Chain A
Amino acid sequence: MPTKIILAGEGGQGVQTVAKIIAVTAQRSGKNSSYLPAFGVEQRGGVSLAYLQISSKPITYPRFAKADMVVAFCDRAIPAIKDFLSKDTLFIYDNSVIKNKSLEKIKNLINNYLAMPALALAKEKLSSKVANVVLLGGIIAHLKEIDYQEFEKTLLEEFADKIIKKPEIKDLNLGALKAGIEIAEKFNKEETPFSGIEATEIKTNFSKEKISWQRFPEYCKGCGLCIVRCPTKALQFSRDSGFLGNPMPIVTIEKCIGCGNCMQICPDGAIKVEKST
């Protein structure tokens, strides 16, 4: 029987990259593998699924109904993966991203889980962009039949172009992979309950005399256009995340002149600036 893995996350969270790296590595290690990306019509912004199978025998059908491993990158992945859970499924999720409210909906279906603070760890020690590679580490820790070195090799090949431009990307990715494996190996259900984060209040309103600056995490995709458009460099990325998990901008209100450039350039309606006269 093949090992069946389903991965789900926001488009742009790197779900497909993780699936591809595993599939390619399995193939190279003499296994058969099958990887089917499945997403909606949008390029980014929808829930993106990846069907992955690894087997010693040829794999003829790319889809499946129940998975041995389910990997959830975000809250919106939960409804999408629910039907793939069985009593033997290992559920891997980012407990620094997924909210308790979402986990509540599948609690009864989970027997075996691995909670990984992937985004929090990546943000703190590496870069938020490698959170997916932390989760990759968690997955491959359970794929013992494939040599770890092979995963490293594929990972570096995947980012070869980017590494040429920014050499530090190599260490960020390798660091994330190792961190992920370490979390998985040390994981103990007794110490880490099946839980996520509580919905936290993000400071959204900033104001000074005559100027009010507001941000809307429920709309912000973290594109950064506002930051580069600010004439006084009053904006920068913050540690707070928008709904996709990407960093959100924050204002240094003292520097804000209330010109509204950031509001006008925002494709998502995630910033509001008001200036009273």
Chain B
Amino acid sequence: MKKEFLMGSETIVKGAIAAGAQMMTGYPITPTTEIMEHWAEEAAKNPALKFLQTEDEMSAGFAMIGAILAGVKAFTASAGPGNVLMQDAFSMAENMRLPTVAFIGQRGGPSTGTVIYSQQELNLTCFGGNGEGLRIVYSTAGGQELYDYAIKAFNTAWKYRFPTFVLTDGYQNKTQSSVEIYQPQEKQVEIVSPTPYLLNPQKQEGTFTHIRNTYNLEQELADVLIDYKKHFTEITPEILEFEDYHTLDAEIVIFAHGIVAAAAKLAVDSLRNEGKKVGLFRPITLNPFPKESAINAVTNKKGILITESSLGQFERMVKSNIYPANTPIFTLKKPAVGIMPEEIIEKINQIFSEKGNNA
């Protein structure tokens, strides 16, 4: 086992290389620029790794798609306004079931906002574009997970052929920490091989592939989407991931995702030390959402606390998934601001003393 002291962005690049990524496209934007820089450095050393710094995020998204059509494991990284522009390409990837992989470092919004941190790109990443949100989104909590889920994202994308995202933020990307770097085979993780969409040497002689995103008739498009949705639903049980931390005997269950879940975990530990029965439910896949497990986690509880660095994007997602559970819901929401374990502890204590306000 090899432990390295790495910045989050560097961990992501090492994970991508371990997953067999061959090409990155991108346009610099804080807090994901270092992903590009580390990749560019690796590509300068290894001619098998390709790199394209494009003129903007639309170009980065579509150049990634071009490379994927050629059968190359390509990825990109972006944030905030860059993520907005890239929805153009992700929408096409959704339409054509292309295995795009994108690392989204959430920063404050709307607009240029702030440059390091938020949890405000949940809606955009899970449901952006003019489509149905047939995307797979992992929300990581920093450190080791950036390596693990970088590997997983490429495998998921190329196995199931839905656009796949790893949702991080500037705290995660910029923090330096100790990470275990391993080869996927050491952990019995099999790497899924890419296959080209165009100029595929395996295809039957004399046949040609025509891929389009425009349909003529309403029903023609509907049939395609219904079929995609069916596949998405079928594979959902294989993809769903969540972390259940002491919810079984908990009276109050905290709902948090990403790095906020790491703060919530500290809060749970501290509260448990005081004998307070608190648990944490953390969806790792935000899309698809671990609905059944979330419902189980909230059933017969005294209350739920939903906390996030946004004004309710995660809250809406949780509520729609646990409906019609009638457990009282409390919230701690801070747009584009980090949430400290102490704040969560305070909020939980308020709820226990029945001073907390219902959301």
Complex CA gap A40/B216 in Å reads: 5
Residues of A within 8 A of B214 (CB): 41
Residues of B within 8 A of A40 (CB): 216-217
Shortest CB distance A240–B (Å): 29
Residues of B within 8 A of A46 (CB): 216
Chain A residue, CB-CB nearest to B217? A40
Tell me the residues in window 11-56 of chain B with beta carbons closer than 8 Å to chain A beta carbons: none
Shortest CB distance B353–A (Å): 54
Shortest CB distance A30–B (Å): 33
Shortest CB distance A46–B (Å): 7
Shortest CB distance B292–A (Å): 38
Complex CA gap A41/B215 in Å reads: 8
Chain B residue, CB-CB nearest to A80? B217
Tell me the residues in window 213-241 of chain B with beta carbons closer than 8 Å to chain A beta carbons: 214, 216-217
Complex CA gap A41/B216 in Å reads: 6
Complex CA gap A41/B214 in Å reads: 8
Shortest CB distance A126–B (Å): 33
Main SS class of interface, A: loop
Tell me the residues in window 196-219 of chain B with beta carbons closer than 8 Å to chain A beta carbons: 214, 216-217
Complex CA gap A46/B217 in Å reads: 11
Shortest CB distance B222–A (Å): 15
Main SS class of interface, B: loop
Residues of B within 8 A of A41 (CB): 214, 216
Tell me the residues in window 1-60 of chain A with beta carbons closer than 8 Å to chain B beta carbons: 40-41, 46
Shortest CB distance B216–A (Å): 4
Shortest CB distance A175–B (Å): 36
Residues of A within 8 A of B216 (CB): 40-41, 46
Shortest CB distance B286–A (Å): 34
Complex CA gap A271/B216 in Å reads: 29
Shortest CB distance B60–A (Å): 27
Chain B residue, CB-CB nearest to A49? B217
Shortest CB distance B218–A (Å): 9
Shortest CB distance A223–B (Å): 22
Residues of A within 8 A of B217 (CB): 40
Complex CA gap A266/B217 in Å reads: 29
Chain A residue, CB-CB nearest to B214? A41
Complex CA gap A17/B331 in Å reads: 58
Shortest CB distance B212–A (Å): 10
Complex CA gap A46/B214 in Å reads: 14
Complex CA gap A41/B217 in Å reads: 9
Shortest CB distance A53–B (Å): 19
Shortest CB distance A122–B (Å): 29
A interface footprint on B183-199 (CB within 8 Å = 1, 0 otherwise): 00000000000000000
Complex CA gap A40/B217 in Å reads: 6
Chain B residue, CB-CB nearest to A39? B216
Complex CA gap A40/B219 in Å reads: 12
Complex CA gap A54/B228 in Å reads: 39
Chain A residue, CB-CB nearest to B218? A38
Shortest CB distance B345–A (Å): 55
Shortest CB distance A121–B (Å): 32
Complex CA gap A27/B336 in Å reads: 55
Shortest CB distance B214–A (Å): 6
Shortest CB distance B140–A (Å): 41
Complex CA gap A46/B216 in Å reads: 9
Complex CA gap A46/B215 in Å reads: 12
Chain A residue, CB-CB nearest to B220? A40
Shortest CB distance A36–B (Å): 12
Shortest CB distance A176–B (Å): 31
A interface footprint on B328-349 (CB within 8 Å = 1, 0 otherwise): 0000000000000000000000
Shortest CB distance B264–A (Å): 49
Chain B residue, CB-CB nearest to A46? B216
Shortest CB distance A222–B (Å): 23
Tell me the residues in window 188-236 of chain A with beta carbons closer than 8 Å to chain B beta carbons: none
Shortest CB distance B263–A (Å): 50
Complex CA gap A219/B216 in Å reads: 21
Complex CA gap A245/B216 in Å reads: 22
Complex CA gap A40/B214 in Å reads: 10
Complex CA gap A277/B218 in Å reads: 53
Shortest CB distance B336–A (Å): 41
Shortest CB distance B100–A (Å): 25
Chain B residue, CB-CB nearest to A42? B216
Shortest CB distance A108–B (Å): 23
Complex CA gap A41/B221 in Å reads: 13
Complex CA gap A40/B220 in Å reads: 11
Shortest CB distance A37–B (Å): 14
Shortest CB distance B340–A (Å): 53
Complex CA gap A41/B212 in Å reads: 13
Complex CA gap A99/B216 in Å reads: 25
Shortest CB distance A97–B (Å): 22
Chain A residue, CB-CB nearest to B216? A40
Tell me the residues in window 89-103 of chain A with beta carbons closer than 8 Å to chain B beta carbons: none
Complex CA gap A165/B217 in Å reads: 37
Complex CA gap A190/B242 in Å reads: 74
Complex CA gap A209/B216 in Å reads: 47
Complex CA gap A60/B216 in Å reads: 25
Shortest CB distance A234–B (Å): 38
Shortest CB distance A183–B (Å): 32
Shortest CB distance A51–B (Å): 13
Shortest CB distance B139–A (Å): 38
Shortest CB distance A8–B (Å): 13
Complex CA gap A35/B4 in Å reads: 68
The 5 A-B pairs of least Cβ separation, nearest first, read A40-B216, A41-B214, A41-B216, A46-B216, A40-B217
Chain A positions near chain B (C-beta within 8 angstroms): 40-41, 46
5 inter-chain pairs at a CB distance below 8 angstroms, sorted by A residue, are: A40-B216, A40-B217, A41-B214, A41-B216, A46-B216
